[in-house]
């Protein structure tokens, strides 16, 4: 069992055999949280924030276009 650790800016990706997890400090005491991720997510880790959100919530953060933002504003106005 060989463990590899890849450090990023504020996160780490840990590989154990063919399993991956992403880990980062969170909360007022910077307690480490970790989530299992796929190899495909590891490859997307250059956009770490999105991978962290996906790992934590199983949903990609929304990226609304300018038109979508205007529609949302009109709904709330």
Residue 62 or 16, more confident:
16
Instruction: Determine the pLDDT at residue 76.
Output: 53
Instruction: Determine the pLDDT at residue 3.
Output: 87
| E strands present in 1-77 | 3-7, 12-16, 19-26, 31-37
Give tens-digit pLDDT for 13-55.
Answer: 999 998 999 999 999 999 999 999 998 888 876 677 788 888 8
| Radius of gyration for the chain, computed over Cα atoms and rounded to the nearest angstrom | 16
Instruction: Kindly report whether the global pTM for this prediction surpasses the value 0.85.
Output: no
């Amino acid at each position: 069992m060989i463990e590899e650790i890849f450090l990023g800016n504020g996160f780490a990706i840990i590989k154990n055999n063919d399993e991956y997890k992403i880990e980062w400090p969170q909360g007022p005491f910077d307690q480490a949280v970790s989530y299992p991720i796929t190899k495909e997510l590891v490859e997307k880790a250059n956009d770490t924030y999105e991978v962290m959100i996906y790992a934590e919530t199983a949903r990609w953060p929304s990226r609304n276009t300018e038109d979508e933002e205007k529609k949302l504003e009109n709904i709330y106005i």
